[in-house]
Amino acid sequence: MSHYERKDATYRAAKKAGLRSRAGIKLEDLDARFHIFSAGQTVVDLGCWPGAWLQVAAQRVGVSGHVVGVDLVAVEGLVAENVSVLVGDAANLKVRAALRESIDGSADVVLSDMAPKLTGIRATDAAREEALVEIAVEVSRELLGRRGKLLVKLFSGVEAAATRRLREEFVTVTPFRPASTRKGSSEIYVLACDRRVD
């Protein structure tokens, strides 16, 4: 990452707002576009380290809400009474059981900003990216009711396949690329609403 990229407007805005990463500004942009959050909601945040989305979601849902993050990496030093964090792989069924238990079985919103370790081998990276979308879909099936929302990051190389998969599970699937996304990045965010419940 170049010096210029690190110190761009989004970086400075995140720093000024006391957010742990520039990702927080992206979630603010996404919330401005989609009105994802409201007070009192239960939110699950997959791939939550270092914690900027936790900060933004916690502020939006307020003290009557609850935000639970999951990451392979421990989130250090984020103290908020409406936030808790589990360390582990979101693909792991034991981790998912602990997650379910921590929110009494249901959530209003599932967020996923998970990103895979990339190898540079296109097919391997695409498979990893698709696998993370599948995890987010599975967690949504486990926790979201009919009115629940899933906000998921995906990468342009898997956009078509991932969008098809999301449409199998949700009626409304809307892609959006926040202005705060780095130039040249292949990231896209998709909001999926109105879960198809059998």
Ligand X SMILES: C[S@@+](CC[C@H](N)C(=O)[O-])C[C@H]1O[C@@H](n2cnc3c(N)ncnc32)[C@H](O)[C@@H]1O
List of residues contacting ligand X (CB under 6 A): 20-21, 23-24, 46-53, 70-73, 89-91, 113-115, 132
Q: Write phi, then psi, for 185 (nearest 5 degrees).
A: -75, 145
Closer by beta carbon to ligand X, 78 or else 192? 78
CB of 198 to ligand X, least distance (A): 27
Closer by beta carbon to ligand X, 95 or else 161? 95
- Alpha helices by DSSP H, listed for the chain, are 3-6, 9-16, 23-34, 52-61, 93-102, 122-143, 159-169
In this structure, are strands 66-71 and 83-87 parallel, antiparallel, or unpaired? parallel
In this structure, are strands 107-112 and 144-155 parallel, antiparallel, or unpaired? parallel
Which residue lies nearest ligand X, judged by its C-beta? 47
Contact 144, 191 (CB under 8 A): no
Closer by beta carbon to ligand X, 54 or else 193? 54
Tell me which of 117, 149, 153, 183 is the catalytic residue.
153
Closer by beta carbon to ligand X, 26 or else 66? 26
153 assigned to active site: yes
Cα–Cα distance between 149 and 111 in angstroms, integer?
A: 8
Which residue has tokens 């965010």?
A: 189
CB of 130 to ligand X, least distance (A): 13
Output the six-digit token pair for 113. 């900003």
CB of 87 to ligand X, least distance (A): 9
CB of 26 to ligand X, least distance (A): 8
Report, as residue numbers or ranges, the catalytic residues. 153
